[in-house]
Structure 1
Amino acid sequence: MTTGLANADTAPRQDIGADGFTPIARGEPGEAAIAALERDGVVLLRGGLGREWVDRLDQAIDEAIALAGPDSYTVAMPGEPGFFFTDNFMWKKIPAFRDFVFDSPAADLAMKLLRSRTLNFYFDFLLVKEPGTSSTTPWHQDHSYWPVNGQQICNIWTAMDVIPKESGLRFVRGSHRFDTLYRAVSFDPRTHHPHEIMDRPLPPDFDSLDHEILGWDMEPGDSLIWYSRTFHSAPGNFGSRRRRALSTSWFGDDVTYNDIPPGTGPASRGEDLVQGGPMTCATFPRVR
């Protein structure tokens, strides 16, 4: 792990999997993809989940929006035609999302990419940016929001639509090696994140710093996988298409519960978890 921002991006600026990687078999990312993730903090898998899962989730997303739960979140700026919608824990109420967690290749991909012997599912997170949405996603580390300790944590962010690089996620290459955990920030520029941990520094403005930024054009079914400490952001959606994606988060062997203040992650804290103990419970089930 690095000792500061200036030295974090030390990997050679070459061979970054510019076109992504294709899994070598169902649930098998291949060693080249694993090595890219470990080097860069993020990797793109082309078509890793299979078209059948894209089709199933495509139908379920409208149901998820209609059944938006108490933790759903909408950012709509005055005078704009679009909006940014998020919700989580769809797997608890919609069969297609539950089937995705337990039966799709996602869990096997996560376990292999983390080089883990076991795997727990954390939560699912639906993101919809309608056309004409200026709302951006600020630079952040997912780990800052979550009550966890450990390194074997990843997200699998799967495109449900064609997503051009210009409106897709952006990553700071090598930022998973930063030794600092930064403050959780609100995705709504008009508000502050509740229960901010003030002794953490604010995230840097990587757009004004000399770090290599990675991004890709994506097709439906392509998946971005990154570590929980990898810095990422996203622009607004000024194109003519929706930008829908499903993110799922996964824990490996070394992850334990960290009892930070409520309000810094998904609302559910699971059942009977204790500081420094394992994450396995009904809400965060072991799946492998």
Structure 2
Amino acid sequence: MNLHSKIQTPITQDHIDFYRENGFVQVDNMLTSEELAELRVYLEEAMQTESDRSLAADQKGGSYYRVLNQKINLWRDHAGMGSYSFHPRFAQSALELSGASGMRFFHDHGLWKMPGDSKATPWHQDTPYWPIQESEAGMMSIWITLDDVNEDNGCMAFVPKSHKLGKLTGIDFLNPQNIFDYIEGGQAEGQKPVIVPLKAGSCTFHNGLTFHYAHANSTDKPRRVLAIIFTPDGVTFDGKEHPVTNGLGLKAGEPIAGPRFPLLVKANV
């Protein structure tokens, strides 16, 4: 793939303006119907594969599992996932929304909100959990749903403009603190959360600093999502432990790069 070539995306100027102002944006029909059908098969197979990449430490039936059954770097367990985890349309969309000079892959993320005794994913930012030095790095996630989602089965909600409040404290998902308590002066008080139901194959993008939340799943089927985290080229490693970077020889202060973090797209200059 030519990193400088223009890849067709569904991103419009309205999407770009909304994302940069609010820290999130909804993009409908990111997947074709054929891609949606294929990804459902690949992701189901990858999530069922036994590996050490599951982040639900207590596994089935445990407290964390009821909040979120998740696995990272599925592309390493299922070759078919690579065509989606590194999909040029997704990376190009992220580049256009962010305005970065280049966009690298950080990791993918299977996110199953399990049925039955499900718990909500509490309000949080993503950036505090990533091993990066910059407080406002511009890292972002695409959240692609394989099922229609609403408030009954785990759709997302966002606080507009909350990405402008800076990097706060990470939240314990099992014993969640109120993230709004960490905001000096209550700057978010006038920013009403926006609930974002989606049709299968559609997605949201959100900045790593944007406050977001996922509803519990009260239905009898899993809510299936593929998230991919992108990092602007040049973001640096802080040296801390993280399952994505452990054992790769990255040094604190150096850019996150190398074979696990390929540069997927580059802006035309």
- Normalised by the shorter chain, which TM-score bucket? 0.7 to 0.9
CA RMSD, 1 decimal: 2.7
- Cross-structure match for 1:281: 258
Q: Contact 2:88–2:264 at 8 Å: present in 1 too?
A: no
- Cross-structure match for 1:204: 180
2:135 is aligned with 1:153 = no
2:104 is aligned with 1:128 = no
Please give the residue correspondences for 1:20-99 in structure 2 after superposition, counting only pairs within 5 Å: 26-74=8-56, 84-99=68-83
Task: Supply the distance in 2 between the matched residues of 1:114 and 1:159 (Cα, whole angstroms).
Answer: 21
2:158 is aligned with 1:176 = no
Task: Supply the distance in 2 between the matched residues of 1:269 and 1:143 (Cα, whole angstroms).
Answer: 17
The SS at the match of 1:110 is helix
Cα deviation, residue 209, structure 1: 5.0
- Cross-structure match for 2:124: 140
Query: For residues 46 and 121 of structure 1, do their structure 2 counterparts lie closer, same or farther at Cα, with a shift above 3 Å needed?
Result: same
Q: Contact 2:19–2:25 at 8 Å: present in 1 too?
A: yes
Query: For residues 113 and 68 of structure 1, do their structure 2 counterparts lie closer, same or farther at Cα, with a shift above 3 Å needed?
Result: farther
2:205 is aligned with 1:225 = yes
Task: Supply the distance in 2 between the matched residues of 1:203 and 1:174 (Cα, whole angstroms).
Answer: 15
Runs of 4 or more, structure 1, over 4 Å off, are 75-79
Structure 2, unmatched stretches of 5+, are 1-6
Query: For residues 116 and 270 of structure 1, do their structure 2 counterparts lie closer, same or farther at Cα, with a shift above 3 Å needed?
Result: farther
The SS at the match of 2:16 is helix
Q: Contact 1:169–1:235 at 8 Å: present in 2 too?
A: yes
Q: Contact 1:271–1:282 at 8 Å: present in 2 too?
A: no
Structure 1, unmatched stretches of 5+, are 1-24, 193-200
More deviation, 32-41/266-275: 266-275
Q: Contact 1:48–1:221 at 8 Å: present in 2 too?
A: yes
Cα deviation, residue 165, structure 1: 3.7
Q: Deviations over 1:12-66 (max 9, x none)?
A: xxxxxxxxxxxxx832411110110011110000012322322121001221122
Task: Supply the distance in 2 between the matched residues of 1:105 and 1:70 (Cα, whole angstroms).
Answer: 29
Query: For residues 36 and 165 of structure 1, do their structure 2 counterparts lie closer, same or farther at Cα, with a shift above 3 Å needed?
Result: farther
Q: Contact 1:159–1:246 at 8 Å: present in 2 too?
A: yes
- Supply the AA of the counterpart residue of 1:155: S
The SS at the match of 2:196 is coil
The SS at the match of 1:155 is strand
- Supply the AA of the counterpart residue of 1:238: S
Query: For residues 141 and 68 of structure 1, do their structure 2 counterparts lie closer, same or farther at Cα, with a shift above 3 Å needed?
Result: farther
Q: Which residue of 71, 74, 90 maps to 1:106?
A: 90
**Paired-residue identity, %:** 23
Structure 2 length as normaliser, TM-score? 0.82
Q: Contact 2:75–2:108 at 8 Å: present in 1 too?
A: yes
- Cross-structure match for 1:198: none
Cα deviation, residue 202, structure 1: 6.7
Q: Contact 1:77–1:135 at 8 Å: present in 2 too?
A: no
Q: Deviations over 1:84-125 (max 9, x none)?
A: 310000112212211113345111111111112211100001
Cα deviation, residue 274, structure 1: 2.5
- Supply the AA of the counterpart residue of 2:156: L
Task: Supply the distance in 2 between the matched residues of 1:257 and 1:73 (Cα, whole angstroms).
Answer: 21
Task: Supply the distance in 1 between the matched residues of 2:259 and 2:247 (Cα, whole angstroms).
Answer: 7
Cα deviation, residue 78, structure 1: 7.2
Q: Contact 2:145–2:225 at 8 Å: present in 1 too?
A: yes
The SS at the match of 2:41 is helix
